[in-house]
Amino acid sequence: MTVPMREPTFLILTALARAPMHGYGLITEVAELSGGRLELRPGTLYGALDRLADDGLVALDREEVVDGRARKYYRLTDRGDAALRAETERLRRNVEAASARLAARTSLRPVTGVARTGLTALGGAA
């Protein structure tokens, strides 16, 4: 049995699924993927990258010098690819189950909806 991924881990792996990225790029990409809700800080990001590397999910891809600064790019490994696919599948099943329940709930709603509308209309008239 494996532990479900935490959201930052999931988003870091998702960001790396498209192409290898450096630390600053990963932070901006994760912020974009989460709709601005998750702002990783460098201390947290590199800690997470080390942990993912310990687990064999990411690896150093290459090093480039940009504006006099050495930038390291990280990539998803085959194992990271498999872990991300498995977690995506788990989340997809959850979303499907929730969607089915919500659809069933919606089909039961019209009666309640009419009653509420009626009450609201009466309240508005009063």
Judged by the rule CB under 8 A, the positions of this chain that interact with other proteins are 1-3, 23-24, 27, 41-47, 49-51, 53-54, 58-60, 63, 69-72, 74
CB of 79 to other proteins, least distance (A): 13
CB of 84 to other proteins, least distance (A): 17
CB of 18 to other proteins, least distance (A): 19
For residues 74 and 84, which CB has a smaller minimum distance to other proteins in the complex?
A: 74
54: Cα separation from own chain's centroid: 21
For residues 1 and 111, which CB has a smaller minimum distance to other proteins in the complex?
A: 1
- Cα–Cα distance measured from residue 112 to residue 118, given in angstroms and rounded to the nearest whole number: 10
Give me 76's structure tokens: 């998803």
Q: Which of 45, 41, 42 is nearest to 12 (CA)?
A: 45
Is residue 17 a contact partner of residue 76, using CB atoms and an 8 Å limit? Answer: yes
Give the 3-state secondary structure of residue 84. helix
Is residue 60 a contact partner of residue 24, using CB atoms and an 8 Å limit? Answer: no
CB of 20 to other proteins, least distance (A): 12
For residues 44 and 120, which CB has a smaller minimum distance to other proteins in the complex?
A: 44
